[in-house]
């Protein structure tokens, strides 16, 4: 298995050739999940004592495995938060895997860590954090939120001791991973009411904290988890107002920007994210909207030394690690670590930051132009002016069933993947744009299709 011979050479070129093919050719938007029984029957015959051989394994990849997965980077994948990695980032991901880099400490991965740290410095500078800011790349927003809030808790306990049942504050619109973090940490969440635009305000935060102090005096609040672009609506909490409350009450401010903080690379996006320069930590997922492959999330701390005191692991076999240099394993709950920030670094080094700014501006402009088209169409109601690149809208007169039926049929025929969501309790349509290749002239026909869909499918026309 570990020798290189003529057959390995042929196999390697075959795999690289397929990777290039996947990048170069359009992906079939009709691809997606198959019944578990069908896949179990195929894959149940693949792990055998004498192996299948590389070429048979690749046949299964081509014919079964890949077609059973949704193409997340298709320009008409507009559901959830898709992805749009650059060619350079995707190809360099192969190099990272082939290079067997341990990205946990400087001794083993100095070159990789130095490159990753340059990307973290770029992100910190875009956010307006001080030169000492730094952090680590982790697997995703869940890992970033958990690691940051564990750090916040430790800072609070170091300063004040344990004064009761620990808690942090967040809105009902915060990403599900933040509430999952509370369960993992065994802490409570003080719920903060959103305004009509799904945002946390400073006034609402202060009111929620005061109410919690009256009604549950045993709670000891140590942090606020704000949203820099909610996943459902793309709403940005009023970070400047929230930061003022946090300073007054000595609370750590963490911004979950897994989706939305990518907009920092655009001047327009930075304007919309006013107040981000005051946070103690933030997370952003480059695999969402910064054009990197899965799995890649940047966690940045204003003062990384606090995180190092919280997360550094010690043991007889670890005490020889040189702690005088940057060791990414010290800044999150992990130890073993892939150098997952390198594809983003390579892409930035290849194309330059101006290309990133232009790509970000393109998606923001497309989202706003699409919102204008929705607002102008007589069959639809635009529910929010998009702060970032998510557009929520109502098809007037549609039932819940019609929303889901249109979505299911258009996904099946490969037109587009648009999945309904709920906004203030109502089933509505949601389009999330992160791909610069998604064009307005691809999106507007979806509105005309939805407007005539009831007749086309046999549903009664809505009044």
Q: What is the pLDDT of residues 379-401, one digit of tens each?
A: 999 999 999 999 999 999 999 99
Q: What is the pLDDT of residues 20-57, one digit of tens each?
A: 999 999 889 999 999 999 999 999 999 999 999 999 99
Average pLDDT, the chain: 95
- Give me the mean pLDDT over the 222-232 stretch: 97
Query: In percent, how much of the chain has pLDDT > 90?
Result: 93
pLDDT at 311 over 70: yes
- Give me the mean pLDDT over the 77-91 stretch: 97
Question: pLDDT: is 163 or 120 the higher one?
Answer: 120
- Give me the mean pLDDT over the 164-168 stretch: 97
Can you give the chain as a three-state secondary structure string?
Answer: CCCCCHHHHHHHHHHHHHHHHHHHCCCCCCCCCCCHHHHHHHHCCCCCCCCCCHHHHHHHHHHHHHHHCCCCCCCCECCCCCCCCCHHHHHHHHHHHHCCCCCCCHHHHHHHHHHHHHHHHHHHHHHCCCCCCEEEEECCHHHHHHHHHHHHHHHHHHHHCCCCEEEEEEECCCCHHHHHHHHHHCCEEEEECCCCCCCCCHHHHHHHHHHHHHHCCCEEEEEEEEEECCCCCCCECCHHHHHHHHHHHCCEEEEECCCHHHHHHCHHHHHHCCCHHHCCEEEECHHHHCCCCCCCEEEEECCHHHHHHHHCCCCCCCCCCCCCCCCHHHHCCCCCCCCCCHHHHHHHHHHCHHHHHHHHHHHHHHHHHHHHHHHHCCCEEECCCCCCCEEEEEECCCCHHHHHHHHHHHHHCCCCECCCEEECCEEEEEEECCCCCCCHHHHHHHHHHHHHHHHHHCCCCCC
The whole-number pLDDT of residue 160 equals 95
pLDDT at 462 over 50: no
- Give me the mean pLDDT over the 345-371 stretch: 98
- Give me the mean pLDDT over the 112-123 stretch: 98
pLDDT at 323 over 50: yes
Question: pLDDT: is 460 or 307 the higher one?
Answer: 307
- Give me the mean pLDDT over the 231-235 stretch: 97
- Give me the mean pLDDT over the 79-93 stretch: 97
pLDDT at 317 over 90: no
The whole-number pLDDT of residue 44 equals 95
CATH topology of domain 94-351: 3.40.640
pLDDT at 461 over 60: no
Query: In percent, how much of the chain has pLDDT > 70?
Result: 97
- Give me the mean pLDDT over the 439-448 stretch: 97
Domain boundaries, the chain: 1-30+33-68, 94-351, 354-457
pLDDT at 273 over 80: yes
CATH class of the domain comprising 354-457: alpha beta
**CATH fold match for the domains 94-351 and 354-457:** no
- Residue 262 confidence class, pLDDT cut points 50, 70, 90: very high
Report field, pTM of the whole predicted structure over 0.75 = yes
């Amino acid at each position: 298995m570990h020798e290189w011979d003529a057959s390995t050479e042929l196999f390697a070129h075959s795999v690289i050739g397929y990777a290039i093919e996947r990048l170069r050719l359009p992906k079939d938007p009709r691809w997606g999940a198959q019944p578990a029984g069908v896949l179990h029957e195929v894959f149940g015959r693949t792990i055998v004592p004498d192996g299948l051989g590389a070429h048979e394994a690749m046949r299964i990849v081509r014919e079964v495995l890949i077609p059973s997965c949704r193409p997340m980077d298709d320009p008409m994948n507009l559901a959830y938060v898709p992805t749009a990695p650059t060619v350079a980032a995707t190809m360099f991901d192969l190099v990272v895997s082939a290079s067997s880099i341990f990205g946990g400490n400087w001794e083993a991965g100095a070159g990789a860590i130095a490159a990753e740290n340059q990307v973290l410095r770029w992100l910190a500078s875009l956010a307006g954090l001080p030169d000492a800011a730094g952090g680590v790349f982790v697997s995703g927003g869940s890992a970033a939120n958990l690691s940051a809030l564990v750090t916040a808790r430790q800072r609070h306990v170091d300063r004040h001791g344990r004064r009761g049942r620990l808690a942090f504050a967040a809105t009902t619109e915060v990403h599900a991973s933040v509430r999952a973090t509370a369960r993992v940490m065994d802490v409570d969440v003080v719920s903060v009411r959103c305004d009509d635009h799904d945002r946390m305000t400073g006034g609402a935060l202060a009111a929620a904290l005061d109410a919690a102090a009256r009604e549950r005096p045993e709670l000891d609040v140590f942090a606020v988890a704000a949203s820099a672009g909610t996943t459902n609506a793309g709403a940005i909490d009023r970070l400047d107002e929230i930061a003022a409350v946090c300073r007054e009450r000595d609370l750590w401010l963490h911004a979950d920007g897994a989706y939305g903080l990518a907009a920092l690379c655009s001047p327009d996006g930075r304007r919309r994210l006013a107040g981000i320069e005051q946070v103690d930590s933030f997370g952003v997922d480059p695999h969402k909207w910064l054009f990197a492959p899965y799995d890649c999330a940047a966690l940045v701390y204003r003062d990384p030394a606090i995180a190092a005191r919280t997360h550094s692991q010690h043991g007889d076999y670890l005490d020889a690690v040189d702690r005088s240099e940057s060791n990414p394993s010290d800044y999150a709950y992990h130890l073993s670590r892939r150098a997952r920030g390198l594809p983003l670094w390579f892409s930035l080094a290849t194309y330059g930051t101006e290309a990133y700014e232009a790509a970000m501006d393109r998606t923001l402009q497309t989202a706003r132009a699409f919102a204008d088209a929705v607002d102008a169409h007589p069959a639809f109601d635009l529910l929010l002016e998009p702060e970032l690149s998510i557009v929520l809208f109502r098809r007037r007169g549609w039932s819940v069933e019609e929303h889901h039926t249109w979505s299911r049929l258009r996904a099946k025929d490969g037109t587009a993947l648009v999945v309904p969501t709920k906004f203030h309790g109502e089933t509505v349509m949601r389009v999330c744009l992160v791909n610069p290749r998604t064009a307005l002239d691809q999106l507007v026909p979806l509105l005309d299709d939805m407007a005539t869909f009831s007749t086309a499918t046999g549903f009664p026309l809505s009044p």
